[in-house]
Amino acid sequence: MSVVNTSSLMRAFEAIQEHVDTVLAKLGQREHAKNVVRALLLGYLGYKISKRLYLVFLGPLSHIPGPIFSSLVDVPMWMKKSVREAKLFQTVFQLHEQYGPVVRLGVDRISVSDKAIIKEVLGKQDFPKAEDYKRFQLEGHQTVFSTIDKNFHKHRRRAVSPAFSLRYLGSLEPFLQSCTEKMILNIRQQIANNRGAATTLDIWGLYKHLALDVIGETAFGCEFDMINGGIGEAGRLPGAIDHRMHFAGLRALLPGFVRWTISSKNALESDEYLFKFMSEIIEQRTEATRAEAEQNGQALDSPSRRKKGKRNDILQILIETQFADNEEDRLMAKDIIQETVLFLIAGSETTSNTIAFTIIFLIQHPKVLEALVKEIDSVDLKQKGEDNRIPLPSFDDLKSLPYLNAVIDETLRLRPVTGTGLPRQPPADVVLGGYAIPKNTTINCFTWGCHISDKYWYKPHEFMPERWLDGAEHPADHDAFFPFSIGSRNCIGKNFAWMELRLGIFALLKYFEIGLVSGQEAIIEDLVQLVTVRIKVGKYDITVKERATRA
């Protein structure tokens, strides 16, 4: 018994030992594997750190002045002031003041405020847009604005450019006038509601509504009637655009891995609403196009039908691409929606902010306001008011008003919509301003910095429209002025914007006396950049009353 017991015990003991050995071997392997992973991670981290240290202290951009910390961790992007408060442009201003016209902002990012370098980057060499713009590509859909692909851009820009030709823009005069007329009537109504006394008006909101009405009419052939509260779903447009801009502005500033972790219920809902809103407009127009073709017995893809279209607005141009001969030219429904949402936003935020900033400057500078009103009153409108319409000037009248144009230029100089600037990436190594810049460095053209540099401008921070007039004592430096950018990616809506800016300002000053509502000084100073530059609270009150001498 005892022999049997001993041998079975021995066997059991051996089995246990074997098992323990296996476990230990496995554990050893696992430990070994862990150590290998740990070593690999440390090695990778070490490689990354030493690569960054090399790039910061010895790399090709190491000779460019700037805060070292910023280069190590791309710091301006991280600063509370820059990101949470949407004031990155202030940080960039400060860095340029401290380090000069070429500043290193990050490990492979620089900012330039020198006019010759900006001209070279945006104009002469016309470098492609930087990767940053991909952040504006929702669900990967490129638009004429957000694409960084030169070929795609050339193609898309060519496709939409007929909607911006001078001839076509001329035909939009009555639409702009009728929207502006509605604005005048609305202000008159507000004054009448106040028994004819001066009334308070939020100029920021008013022009946002006007700009949406203008883009609705001219780009999409739709009456939004935002000036009177908006027809149907259009009433939600300003709020939705605000959310979209807020979110896009934030995402544009954050580094990649953080960017994908943030989401916003408001922004998602706004996107959903904007896309639905535009897709309904697109569907209706597509249906109308089909019905018209059917009625005329024409095939949708017949070139003669496409040429005969009544309006050549952006919406029609984009819809017509669906029937293009070449499959490559056909846009998918989602692309059309993205492109129309872009035009809705780009065509309204930019002009409305600029007009509102102009009115704010005018209120702060009564002498300039007086001189401008005098020029406006010199335009003879008597012959123009037919059918009880409110007399308004033609585009040609407006073009030839030097002081009005000077006031707008001066506003665009001090409040350019682009804030931190226009990022570009050279496809090959270049030398700019004596600095060797390796390919794919992000070069941020800080046009605002250039607009207020004392190297180029007399009393750069002062609002002095006179500098733009012929024979000015201290003339404007046109070479240091880039409000609409230059090169192949300049603003396609520039001429359109100029018409809207001139008419919007003219109409208010022609028919109303405007005045200051005190206590808003801090509001004007508190600027933020949510894609475009604006006042943070998005509201600025003025007083308005009917002018005694109206036409």
Q: Residues annotated in the binding site for heme, as ranges?
A: 491
Q: Which is nearer to ligand HEM, 100 or 538 (CB)?
A: 538
Q: Which is nearer to ligand HEM, 286 or 485 (CB)?
A: 485
Angle between helices 173-193 and 494-511 (to 10 degrees): 30
Q: Tell me the pairing of strands 512-516 and 527-530.
A: unpaired
Backbone conformation region of residue 471, classed left if phi is above 0, alpha if psi is from -120 to 50, else beta: left
Q: Which is nearer to ligand HEM, 343 or 512 (CB)?
A: 343
CA distance 469 to 413: 15
Q: Which is nearer to ligand HEM, 351 or 441 (CB)?
A: 351
Rounded to a whole number of angstroms, the minimum distance from the CB of residue 101 to ligand HEM is 19
What the block records as the tokens of 118 is 């900006």
Rounded to a whole number of angstroms, the minimum distance from the CB of residue 388 to ligand HEM is 30
Q: Which is nearer to ligand HEM, 318 or 381 (CB)?
A: 318
Rounded to a whole number of angstroms, the minimum distance from the CB of residue 449 to ligand HEM is 14
Q: Is 102 helix (H, G, I), strand (E, B) or coil?
A: strand
Phi and psi torsions of 372, nearest 5°: -70, -40
Buried b (16+ CB within 10 A) or exposed e, 106-138: bbbbbbbbbbebbbbbbeeeebbbbebbeebeb
Q: Is 324 helix (H, G, I), strand (E, B) or coil?
A: coil
In Å, how far are 353, 487, 491 from 347, measured between CA atoms?
11, 20, 10
Rounded to a whole number of angstroms, the minimum distance from the CB of residue 140 to ligand HEM is 18
Rounded to a whole number of angstroms, the minimum distance from the CB of residue 445 to ligand HEM is 8
Rounded to a whole number of angstroms, the minimum distance from the CB of residue 443 to ligand HEM is 12
* Residue showing tokens 């502006």: 180
Q: Which is nearer to ligand HEM, 406 or 491 (CB)?
A: 491
What the block records as the tokens of 458 is 């007399």
Which residue has the closest beta carbon to ligand HEM? 493
Q: Which residue ranges make up the annotated binding site?
A: 491
What the block records as the tokens of 381 is 């409108």
CA distance 474 to 527: 28
Q: Which is nearer to ligand HEM, 252 or 368 (CB)?
A: 252
CA distance 38 to 49: 16
**Contact residues: ligand HEM, CB under 6 A:** 144-145, 157, 343, 346-347, 350-351, 354, 417-418, 422, 483-485, 489, 491-493, 496-497
Rounded to a whole number of angstroms, the minimum distance from the CB of residue 484 to ligand HEM is 5
